[in-house]
Amino acid sequence: MEDLVESILDYIRADYTDYAIMINGEWGSGKTYFWNNKIRPKIDGKQFNGRKYSTIYMSLYGISNLEEISKKIFIETSQLMDKNVKKHIDITGKYSIPEYAKTGLNMANAFGINGNNDKIDYEKFFATDDKVLCFDDLERANVDVIDILGYINNFVEHDHIKTIIICNEKELSTKLKNSNLEMKTFIATYILDKEGKLSDETKPMVERIQDKIEYVFDKANDYERIKEKLIGETFEYRPEFNYIINGILMRYENNTELIRFLRENTPYIINTFNKSQTKNLRILKHSLNDFAKIFDMVNKYYPNTNYRVMQTMLIFTVAISFEIKAGKITKDKFVYINNNEEYKSLVISSKVFIDNMQFYIKEFDNNYYYNFKAEYRFFKFIETYVRTRIFDTRKFKEEMEDIINTVDTEKLPGHKRLLTEEFWKISDSQFPEVIEEVINNVKSGKIKLIDITKLFIYFTYFIQKGLINYKISEIKSIFFNGMDISVQNSEYIENPEKELESLSLGEKNIDVEDILAHFYVLNSKLKDKMYTEKANDVLKSIPMKIETFYEKLDEECMEIPIFKYYDPHQLFQRISCASNEDIVQIKEKLLERAKKNPVKLKPELQNMIKLKGIIEQYIQGKEITIKIVMLSEFLRDLERIIKKYERS
């Protein structure tokens, strides 16, 4: 970062320049903060080559005409003007007025300062060799960018004023392409029609119109031409986050408890910021402001809240702010999730159903909570506050009561205490009770299959360290039997390795390997059970609710081999009862699936071979009808599907 500062100062130090420089960076990345805190203090009042410089900063955000820029310059220099009007009143005005002076002169006249009769030495009055202009938010102006750059070029080329432009070129490029798009489309279409190219089918209509728009209205090239003339150097701004985060946290210095908590958890803030992949520091500032209110409310009404819960609230507040405010999602992604249990249910179900919202929730959870274990990971009152700016006190207290009852380690079930809290935080007097409670719940199958597997790894460690008086063979037998019972109430885990890899208590041994092998066998059975239920749910819609079948097949089953889990005879009965039109559409959809995902769908192979044999037997010797012909076509595509599976 210091190299960037020095490079910019080298431009200021240069005795003669006829170009501006540009600082390019993403929105909210701290470019303005960088200017105010790193660059401006090193210019204002400092001497370079015998000149004492001062800066004039102008945000172009919302500027709708060039005169507004002139007003901004005048307002910035008006105090200087007032001091010098009397001083130069007797000077003969024979000198040429530079472009920069004209800006001030026009505004001076507008404010009632008439320079024509006062004989002011405008060249001295508007001395420009000690000014540094900074134009920010170029891409957010409501004036044509080309016009603004031409306006700025007057200062740079004619008056040689040191000028710095701050912008987001990526957004600028988008703006140039999308401005007046409806008008451009209309004119481009009109031109194509006059040229007789509107009906030309050698290229898609949209592409032809886009090409014509770019040819006729090539603002991007205009921008590049004037930029090449005006901008001597472009510097890419990439913030040093550690420096900036300290500056952001300084604003909370008066809140002793909050600043201590934030500084202790700065690594979580930085990690969450990085995982958002937005580089938007503005959103981070807003999210920490939101968390300050949340922190104060929790401390006021629930001062003994678990520290881990407060950490999770911090991560969630920052994460949900980036997801909503950075435009990464539509706001309704979280609207219909009412509590932590529903959130966790969606995370689990997302591993089963191919649903956009569920898939997003799973990705959100995997991204922001990766390697961060917490029982309570969704806070409705925080989500509502970030999304609507309304702090729902009723919902806040309702959730906090639920958190106290479910996350408070004194009230948590024993197995959750072992899995979500460090076991050494359990007191020596409570530890035997927790162990016995866990063993009883394992025996009765009350604990989920994946959790029993995790717990066994803990128990092998406890036995190795002499913390419990059980033989490994005894515990192993208890856990094997408990897993067999637990499978009745557990759900399939799609990627158990990810959940198990975080456990590092001791080295793996043969007993752990046996438990893991048993888990994978049972988890595979859960997968078969899950897909069997899914197959029944989807295929029962044939033929009476065929639209539902098409919808579920497209949205949920393009990569799931559901036909492996459905009896081929029942499937044929359903297909044969469908209309001829639907028979055609069903076989087209099956062929489309096979083309896209032959490897994932290969488990269907044997049932597809059986279905082929059933159809062959049915149509053999039958009188030719449209349905028989459609089934014959179905049979032909079924053979193609089988070949794709066999080759995969």
pLDDT tens string 609-628:
999 999 999 999 989 999 99
At residue 30, the pLDDT reads 77
Is residue 355 predicted with pLDDT exceeding 50? no
At residue 575, the pLDDT reads 93
Structure tokens at 442: 């394992």
Q: Which residue has the higher pLDDT, 134 or 352?
A: 134
- Model confidence at 14, pLDDT cuts 50, 70, 90, reads confident
At residue 124, the pLDDT reads 42
The percentage of residues in the chain with a pLDDT greater than 70, rounded to a whole number, is: 78
Q: Which residues pair with 59 in a beta bridge?
A: 136
- Model confidence at 3, pLDDT cuts 50, 70, 90, reads confident
Nearest Cα residue to 49 out of 21, 11, 80, 22: 11
Is residue 420 predicted with pLDDT exceeding 70? no
* Least confident among 380-384, 402-406, 559-563: 402-406
At residue 342, the pLDDT reads 82
* Least confident among 159-173, 287-301, 505-519: 505-519
Peptide linkage before 413 cis (omega within 30 of 0): no
Q: Are 120 and 85 in contact (CB under 8 A)?
A: yes
pTM greater than 0.85 (yes/no): no
Buried b (16+ CB within 10 A) or exposed e, 487-520: beebbbbeebeeeeeebeeeeeeebbeebbebbe
At residue 634, the pLDDT reads 93
| Phi, psi torsion values for 313, nearest 5 degrees | -60, -40
At residue 248, the pLDDT reads 83
Is residue 456 predicted with pLDDT exceeding 60? yes
- Model confidence at 259, pLDDT cuts 50, 70, 90, reads very high
Provide mean pLDDT across the span 400-421.
73
- What CA–CA distance (Å, rounded) separates 417 from 438? 10
Is residue 422 predicted with pLDDT exceeding 80? no
Nearest Cα residue to 103 out of 78, 82, 120, 124: 78
Mean pLDDT of the chain: 81
Q: Which residues pair with 567 in a beta bridge?
A: none
What is the architecture of the domain spanning 2-175?
3-Layer(aba) Sandwich (3.40)
Provide mean pLDDT across the span 476-482.
94
Provide mean pLDDT across the span 448-471.
90
At residue 287, the pLDDT reads 94
Query: Would you say the C-alpha torsion 338, 342, 344, 349 has a positive or negative sign?
Result: negative
The percentage of residues in the chain with a pLDDT greater than 90, rounded to a whole number, is: 40
- Model confidence at 231, pLDDT cuts 50, 70, 90, reads confident
- Model confidence at 89, pLDDT cuts 50, 70, 90, reads very low
Is residue 169 predicted with pLDDT exceeding 50? yes
Best mean pLDDT range from 46-50, 208-212, 437-441: 437-441
Structure tokens at 500: 């198990």
